[in-house]
Amino acid sequence: MNSETLSYIERRRCPVYCAIRVIEGRWKPMIFRRLGESPQGFGDLRRSMPGVANKVLRQHLRQLEADGVVGRIVRDKPARRVRYMLTRHGRTLGPVFEMLWKWGVRHLAISHATSSPERRTYRLP
């Protein structure tokens, strides 16, 4: 096996890469937030996230469903209606997103502070 193949195997087995793969996506954090509040229909989700394309929202929901973190409730009467919800497994991501939020707040504060005009640049010898 070459080193490129080994690195792919390593990434597939790495829990951090696995977790990032599940939550990565421009709209996935918003989907999690909204489904964490209550089950939502596709239209409800789309209206609550201006700018998301139907195709992308459908794709993200299918990926999340395949990963076991989102489930579907289908009701056929009186009319067919599909609602999406976080699964029990999906709800375990709540603390992960809370920690990412806290880290992001700290990181934004640091990056804004270091992007000021008086920012120091250090040069290595």
**Average pLDDT of span 20-43:** 95
pLDDT computed for residue 38 by the predictor? 95
pTM: 0.78
pLDDT computed for residue 100 by the predictor? 93
Q: How open is the CA angle 14-20-26, to the nearest 5 degrees? A: 160
Domains plus CATH for the chain? 26-114 (1.10.10.10)
Q: pLDDT digit string (tens) for 64-100?
A: 999 999 999 998 888 788 999 999 999 999 999 999 9
